Amino acid sequence: MSDVRGMIRYLTKGGYTPTDTEGFDDTVYFFQTRGLSPSEIDETITILSDKAEKLDDRCGAARLLGIIKNKTAIPGLIEALGGLDKIVAQEAVRAIGDIKDESAIPALIGALGTEDLVMRCYAAEALEKIGDPRGIQSLVVLTAFESVHYISVRFLEKSLEECKTSEQLSGFERKFQLGFTELRKKHKSEFQKVAVWLADFQNKIAKKSDSLASDKGILLSDIPKPPKRGTIYRTLDSRLETMRPGDRPQASEVLKDFRTIKRSAMERVRNG
């Protein structure tokens, strides 16, 4: 048995999946450190594409390519998207998302148009990983479909959790609102099914915004509504004064974040 087949079998027999990596941290690190030679990548793609291979081995080949993250595997993975076996295609699209190569964006956009809702979820997640705004937008729409509600919600919650700065959260919120608007206008009946969940998730975004603001020593709740001219800056000055000297950031940086937070809050008020 070749090294490639050995690695594939290790992943499939152990039950490794891209969303359930428990117990595989050392294995993934080893595989990434070892890498694959050009001939081994070709062998892996051959296993992925060969319909005579076992389904588990073909899926494992896609997972291995996603772990290695070598962009030379992208053409073979894209070709697998056009195959008749939807499970292999789903694993291929997830691997593309792990590799994060922009050249695959057109193929992922095409996958968003398939009838396979699970495939659409994975394609949307892959787009988000690459940085394309259509990823989050599509995931919001897909929350309205019962068969993939859990998958799309899980991806959205993970993306929200990964927002570590006000700028990242603001970008996430803009993409979320695009999906919200599309769902409300184009899928009215489906929108009603998830209206409560959407409202709850918007509250999560607002709480995350408050949390990031408090990390800078500024709380939106401290700002009078509507704020009068000059009040914003007095509140900012008082917060800067209460910061510990060792933790106090530059005033210009705090002011920049503060304005971003304020603008985001005002947009939420206007949008209801």
Chain segment 34-43, per-residue pLDDT in tens: 888 999 999 9
Rounded to 10 degrees, what is the CA torsion of 98, 101, 105, 110? Answer: -50
| Per-residue confidence band for 134, with pLDDT thresholds at 50, 70 and 90 | very high
Is residue 266 predicted with pLDDT exceeding 50? yes
Classify residue 17 by its DSSP letter: B
Question: Phi/psi of residue 164, each to 5°?
Answer: -110, -10
Q: Is the pTM of this model over 0.75?
A: no
Is residue 221 predicted with pLDDT exceeding 60? no
Return mean pLDDT, the chain. Answer: 82
Rounded to 10 degrees, what is the CA torsion of 171, 176, 181, 183? Answer: 150
Say what percent of the chain tops pLDDT 90: 53
Q: Which of 19-28, 68-77, 117-126, 140-149 has the lowest mean pLDDT?
A: 19-28
**Distant-in-sequence, close-in-space partners of 83: CB < 8 Å, separation ≥ 6:** 49, 51, 89
Mean pLDDT value across residues 117-146: 94
Is residue 17 predicted with pLDDT exceeding 80? no
Is residue 72 predicted with pLDDT exceeding 50? yes
- CA nearest 45: which of 108, 104, 88? 88
Any idea where the domains of the chain sit in the sequence? 1-98, 133-215, 217-272
State the pLDDT at residue 92. Answer: 94
Is residue 169 predicted with pLDDT exceeding 60? yes
